[in-house]
Amino acid sequence: MELVDAVAANGTETNAPVDAGITLVPGRPATIHITELEMTAAPKQSLPFPVNIQTALMRVVDIPPAYYRFLYLQVGRRWHWVDRLRLDDEALTAVLHDKRNCVTVLYVNGAPAGFFEVLHVDDDTVELTHFGLFERALGLGLGKWFLLQALYGCWSYGPKVVKVQTNNLDHPRAIQLYQRFGFSPVATREGELVPLTEDEMLDLVRKL
């Protein structure tokens, strides 16, 4: 799972990769520390609708792979998201068009500015698999409101538990944020990240 803390990132003015104290070498595996969190009750917070900007949330049915890659790269490159970028069109389409999967795009003043992705695992479990804002949407006061909308989307399925994962390449205040919205850490584990090589990046450009 790859998740970015768009709220803690508000005010950040660069889309450069975040330095998490790990040396990342293209094509070379790196160990990351993953924290799994769960919430068992819908959020009780009520946040005001953003003012002075036009916003819209739209669920994308059967999202085209090229558009998804654009969203994924815009949100995830500074957080080292790579998993979905390695999938070819057929494999990515199979994931995205699974009836259990739902992608919702945030538009600000008519242009895409972020997205979240929800997986309806089963009747009892929903996972927020991806969430984040484009660089241009940071600092507009959207982060907390946007996360709350994502959680509302998760709880609309009527689950008993909503899950999310974060890792040490996300914003350092990510876990604190999720706890503020009702999540509790339940497990930690080690994972592996392999940064994209130059050849993979060139291949990705051809797919966009």
Q: How far apart are CA 155 and CA 176, in angstroms?
A: 21
Neighbours of 206 (CB within 10 A): 6
User: For position 208, what pLDDT does the model report?
Assistant: 78
Class of domain 30-207: alpha beta
100-129 confidence digits (pLDDT tens):
999 999 999 999 999 999 999 999 999 999
Three-state SS letters, the chain:
CCCCCCCCCCCCCCCCCCCCCCCCCCCCCEEEEEEEEEECCCCCCCCCCCCCCCEEEEEECCCCHHHHHHHHHHHHHHHCCCHHHHCCHHHHHHHHCCCCEEEEEEEECCEEEEEEEEEEEECCEEEEEEEEECHHHCCCCCHHHHHHHHHHHHHCCCCCEEEEEEECCCCCCHHHHHHHCCCEEEEEEEEEECCCCHHHHHHHHHHC
> Of 4 and 161, which is predicted with more confidence?
161
Query: What value does the mean pLDDT take over residues 67-78?
Result: 95
Q: Is the pLDDT of residue 179 over 80?
A: yes
Provide the whole-model pTM.
0.87
Closest to 126 measured CA to CA, from 163, 179, 165, 178? 163
Mean pLDDT on 62-74: 96
Buried b or exposed e, range 99-122, using 16+ CB within 10 angstroms: eeebbbbbbbeeebbbbbbbbbbe
User: Residue ranges of the domains in the chain?
Assistant: 30-207
What are the beta bridge partners of residue 193? 30
In contact, 127 and 163? CB cutoff 8 Å: yes
User: Token pair for residue 82?
Assistant: 């790579």
What is the pLDDT confidence band of residue 16, given thresholds at 50, 70 and 90?
very low
